[in-house]
Amino acid sequence: MAKYVLKRILLMILTFFVIVTICFMLIRLLPRELPMEENLREVMLARFEALGYNEPLLVQFGIYLKNIFTNWDFGTSWYVQFRADAWDVLMDRLWPTVLVNFYSFLVSVPLGLALGIYAAVRKNKWQDHLISTLVMVFVSVPSYVYGFLVQYFLYFKAGLFPLTVSSLADAGGSWFTWTMFYSMIPPIIALSFGQIAGLCRFTRAELTETLTSDYMLLARTKGLTRSQATTRHALKNAMVPILPMIISTFISILAGSMVIEQIFAIPGVGQLYIRSINLLDYDVFMMDTVFYVFVGLLAGIVVDISYGFIDPRIRMGKKK
């Protein structure tokens, strides 16, 4: 097991390095935007020169790596937050993303699991048909449509919630105040629809498969009641693929949803990405890219390894 984990991590690091290299080259190839104002322009040109932005690409990459390993310096933001450290800029925006997505995770996992299990147990009855139809609809509808629906009904019709998430100053300087949580409820709801539906569909599919397997028949024959057999045998086996999916959702909390952040004006990682593109702030863009790549890879590897822990028979990616 340890050897397997180590191998996966090494491969992940290799992939990570290759992707970061490619992204770095492609981003540094883009022409830099300079401000119109003469003095600032001069200052920035001088800074670019000093930071080695005019060196050949490979030298630039060397400098970039050296700065990361020696100073944990991922570059400088020029437009999003003038001369702030790209790493700090990203970290400032991590909390709102994580919080909104974590709350939504807390809501959607139990609901999705419960609905999925219910639908699987009531397979081909009206409850199952109802849930499956709704799931189909909710999985398909794009996330921004939820955003608008939630805003329309909760803000315009009912007037219950604010239109967008409160700023840090309004909420008393902390992400953990009640005002902040209250204003986060609409994006949490908007995010949850899709997640609940996705998890519900997955759970239903897995559980129906285990419910029809032979060991279930055996369990019933040896005298277990239907509910006993379901909870003790079917559910346990169905959890083998479901649990890694939940884990991967949990890790993707870090990346968040760009669309929802844009609609509800959450000052998070996704919004930072859009802003860095619009302002052509390449170092922040690079930082955000590195972050997204890392989260994606991390989710993948944790899922693969968790399969091995949950069900020791499984080794993902092993030879056939």
Q: What is the x/- site pattern for other proteins, positions 30-49, by CB under 8 A?
A: x-------------------
Binding to other proteins (CB under 8 A) within 277-306 occurs at: 277-278, 285, 289, 292-293, 296-297, 300
267 binds other proteins (CB under 8 A): no
57 binds other proteins (CB under 8 A): no
Distance of alpha carbon 299 from alpha carbon 208, whole angstroms:
26
Contact pick of 34, 51, 134, 139 for other proteins (by CB under 8 A)? 139
Cβ–Cβ under 8 Å, residues 216 and 232: no
State in angstroms the smallest separation of the CB of 4 from other proteins.
Answer: 16
142 binds other proteins (CB under 8 A): yes
273 binds other proteins (CB under 8 A): yes
Contact pick of 67, 81, 127, 143 for other proteins (by CB under 8 A)? 143
Distance of alpha carbon 120 from alpha carbon 207, whole angstroms:
6
258 binds other proteins (CB under 8 A): yes
Distance of alpha carbon 24 from alpha carbon 31, whole angstroms:
13
Nearer to other proteins by C-beta: 148 or 176?
148
195 binds other proteins (CB under 8 A): no
106 binds other proteins (CB under 8 A): no
Cβ–Cβ under 8 Å, residues 107 and 200: no
Cβ–Cβ under 8 Å, residues 160 and 154: yes
Contact pick of 43, 49, 58, 148 for other proteins (by CB under 8 A)? 148
Task: Tell me the sheet residues that pair with 84.
Answer: 77
- Kindly report the CA angle at 288 between 284 and 292, in degrees rounded to 5? 170
Q: Who contacts 95 (Cβ-Cβ below 8 Å, separation ≥6)? A: 175
State phi, psi for 149 to the nearest 5 degrees: -60, -45
Q: Which stretch binds other proteins (CB under 8 A): 85-93, 213-221, 241-249, 274-282?
A: 274-282
Nearer to other proteins by C-beta: 246 or 290?
290
In 10 A of CB 276, how many CB atoms? 25
Contact pick of 13, 22, 59, 160 for other proteins (by CB under 8 A)? 22
Distance of alpha carbon 180 from alpha carbon 212, whole angstroms:
46
Cβ–Cβ under 8 Å, residues 133 and 200: no
Q: Which stretch binds other proteins (CB under 8 A): 70-78, 81-89, 100-108, 145-153?
A: 145-153
What are the distances in angstroms from CA 82 to CA 33, 76, 229, 271? 14, 8, 62, 17
| Interaction site with other proteins (CB under 8 A) | 11, 15-16, 18-19, 22-23, 26-27, 29-30, 136-137, 139-145, 148, 152, 156, 255, 258-259, 262-263, 273-274, 277-278, 285, 289, 292-293, 296-297, 300, 320
